[in-house]
């Protein structure tokens, strides 16, 4: 799996924050995963449904970041 640079992760976090502001019903993990998928679908598809997937569990965002980081 391709790993993301610090700048790429920052781009995902920025988009995630924008999504949460625009969509008040989005949870942190949901917004993060959707942002990751929008920017880097190849990486998102590799973690989808794994124990690193933060979509349903907000507390997994940091674990996911650590996993996809270079």
Task: Domain ranges for the chain, please list them.
Answer: 6-68
Entry pTM: 0.95
User: Is a pLDDT exceeding 90 seen at residue 70?
Assistant: no
Tokens at 12, concatenated: 């995902």
Q: Rg of the chain's alpha carbons, rounded to an integer?
A: 11
**pLDDT per residue as tens digits for the range 11-68:** 999 999 999 999 999 999 999 999 999 999 999 999 999 999 999 999 999 999 999 9
Neighbours of 36 (CB within 10 A): 30
């Amino acid at each position: 799996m391709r790993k993301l640079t610090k700048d790429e992760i920052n781009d995902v976090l920025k988009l995630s924050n924008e999504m949460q502001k625009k969509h008040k019903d989005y949870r942190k993990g949901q917004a993060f995963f959707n942002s990751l998928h929008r920017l880097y679908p190849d990486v998102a598809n590799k973690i989808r449904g794994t124990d690193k997937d933060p979509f349903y569990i907000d507390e997994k965002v940091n674990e996911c970041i650590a996993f996809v980081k270079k």
